[in-house]
A = this chain, B = another copy of it.
Amino acid sequence: MIKVGIVGGTGYTGVELLRLLANHPEVSLEVITSRSESGMPVSDLFPNLRGHVNIAFSEPDPDILAQCDVVFFATPHTVAMALVPELIKRNTRVIDLSADFRLKDLAVWEQWYNTQHTCPELFEHAVYGLPELNRDKIKDAQLVAVPGCYPTATELGFLPLLEAGLIDPLHLIADAKTGVSGAGRKAAIPMLMAETSGSFKAYGVSGHRHLPEIREVLSQHCQQEVDLTFIPHLAPMVRGIHATLYGRLTTHDVNLQKVFEERYANEPFVDVMPIGSMPETRSVQGSNICRIAVHQPQNSDTVVVLSVIDNLVKGASGQAIHNMNIMFGLDEKTGINVIAMMP
């Protein structure tokens, strides 16, 4: 059994880690921390876990965390970078769901997160935990940075086109829509149901923190400068990301469907849908799948990719466990082969 700890378990990625880990056959959940809720049984906060998770939140204690084989950080940014060095030093592996280790360019990170990074040495060595890109590096990683939710959906949609050199890499457009759980479990007037239900809006148009992440990951991987216009929107639903991706084709002589099918032929959590499909976010609700469809509307030179994930699963906690499975040599699907709930 893999001894697992969770730091910061009171948010939505925390409860989602618990939902999935509680039924993971190779995991023993040792500790879950929360400064604010220390002492409270986890299932008092999240009644869906009654009968499944019987431990209480505790104060974060490095000595206890260091006894785990792996610790997940489901914290706001800047929390992980304060604790991680101590854990790594004591040979506890870390899977960070926050943004602290997602970039490679320190200056860019410090600019967008508007703070100084406190462990730049680990910053460089962290592995970006997108299995479809970095499976081999993940296996031996001590520190994995789980991709953001938007970047996961966007990168998986653009990768086949960029890798094959089929689109102009400097003028990508990602028109992305998220459910409200993406904003986290924090008291804020704009996220009240009375403010968001029945309405749709863009936000972060001038610059969202997932923009530099997408830009860097795609640029590095494709070894050329990639730039995009990234417009996130808030949709009146709880879960799900729908990324509608636009690129200008540099060639017409290509079978786009085949490019995608071949790229993801062996990926357990990417589903390239049949020609003409238009995936709905509910088809991945609660599951770790990314469903993708590629279109060339009206036979124009604009390619359109539709990419959907559950932001809390493939966009966060499920992908984190996928990384854990790879790191510990398990079958990749273990514990996360959950079927989406429809309706």
Contact = CB atoms under 8 A, between A and B. Distances in A.
A175 B308 CA distance: 16
Interface residues of A, number: 86
Contact of A342 (B48, B280, B298): B48
Contacts of A191: 192-194
Given A47-B279, A175-B244, A286-B286, A304 B205 contact: yes
Interface of A: 12, 15, 19, 22-23, 46-52, 171, 173, 175, 177, 179-181, 183, 185-189, 191-203, 205-207, 211, 227, 229-231, 233, 235-240, 242, 244, 246, 248, 271, 273, 276, 278-287, 289, 291, 295, 297-298, 300, 302, 304, 306, 308, 337, 339-343
A171 B302 contact: yes
Contacts of A233: 177, 242, 244
A341 B180 contact: no
Nearest to A192: B191
B192 A304 contact: no
Contacts of A47: 273, 279-280, 283, 291, 342
Nearest to A343: B194
12 contacts: A12-B194, A48-B285, A177-B235, A199-B282, A200-B308, A201-B280, A201-B308, A202-B306, A206-B276, A229-B246, A229-B298, A236-B237
